[in-house]
Homo-oligomer: A and B are copies of this chain.
């Protein structure tokens, strides 16, 4: 299935970022003709170093997807568009709702309008997020879970998800959506709080510092290694006869955040994690556990996460040890702004 990408022309939005660059590199290795587009907006994780190993084989367009008319010819000639661009920070979205709207909703709508105009019926694969489900009403979270985003980032990711669906139901595009859980691995920006707690844990461990865990760390998560996400994206772009068009993508195992911290510390040879009480302003905004039911994508696309968390952490640490200066420097870290425990995260509402 995935071998079909050889010589096919693909466009990757957000292709200098974490997931986008891993995807672009894989596509190039499969023999695809890859163009990435990236606006390099501060905070979204773009890093030209990410594509260094295949710089000669991947075209890079510096543009905002909202200005897709600028690269209409690339849209027109693409067999598949992988739409991975976006801001993922919940916290930043609460601080600057309009910025998040611009990046995640307005730009997406403009982009899809141009795709429909220049390449009607094109397969578009959108990387959405578990954020659209909000605080789980039940676990594991499947695709029938109610839509109840709790922050502006979740609202706008849901809007973009629905844009893809409406462009498809009206016949303008042939879009599919993956709702990703916490993704980790090589090429995350370790200098940005917006990349989530896994990047922070990796950063601390790589610096030989103790990871700080708020509370008892008993909340569950299902981290997914970026190569597994790339597999899912490739399958979603390749399969023609679809039973559904939206799939949840979870990790290989469900772990307590405390175990995640211990495994990363141990693998890096860093001191063991330190458990500290939740800061008062954070204690009552813990959303509890989240993990995905990935059985639909397993049944329909044959996808399974292949990388255990232990192996994924080792692969990540190996990568960052070689490349650390390119991922560590930059914006200061603000632990209080970590997306899984932010003071800005609102409580679930009785609606």
Contact = CB atoms under 8 A, between A and B. Distances in A.
Interface of A: 94, 97-98, 101, 105-106, 109-110, 113, 143-144, 146-152, 155-156, 158-159, 162-163, 165-166, 168-170, 177, 243-246, 344, 346-351
Contact of A243 (B94, B152, B350): B350
The 8 closest A-B CB pairs, nearest first, are: A169-B346, A147-B147, A170-B346, A155-B162, A246-B351, A169-B349, A244-B350, A159-B159
A245 B155 contact: no
A103 to B, nearest CB: 13
Contact of A347 (B97, B151, B159, B169): B169
Contact of A98 (B109, B149, B151, B348): B109
Contacts of A163: 97, 152, 155
Contacts of A106: 98, 101, 106
A349 B245 contact: yes
A299 to B, nearest CB: 14
Contacts of A147: 146-148
A168 B349 contact: yes
B170 A94 contact: yes
A351 B165 contact: yes
Nearest to A98: B109
A348 B152 CA distance: 26
A250 to B, nearest CB: 17
A342 to B, nearest CB: 11
A241 to B, nearest CB: 12
27 contacts: A97-B109, A98-B106, A98-B109, A101-B109, A105-B105, A105-B159, A106-B106, A143-B351, A146-B147, A147-B148, A149-B162, A150-B166, A152-B166, A155-B162, A158-B159, A158-B162, A165-B349, A166-B346, A169-B347, A169-B348, A169-B349, A170-B344, A177-B351, A244-B351, A245-B349, A245-B350, A246-B351
A297 B166 CA distance: 31
Given A150-B166, A351-B244, A101 B97 contact: no
A105 B101 CA distance: 9
A116 to B, nearest CB: 10
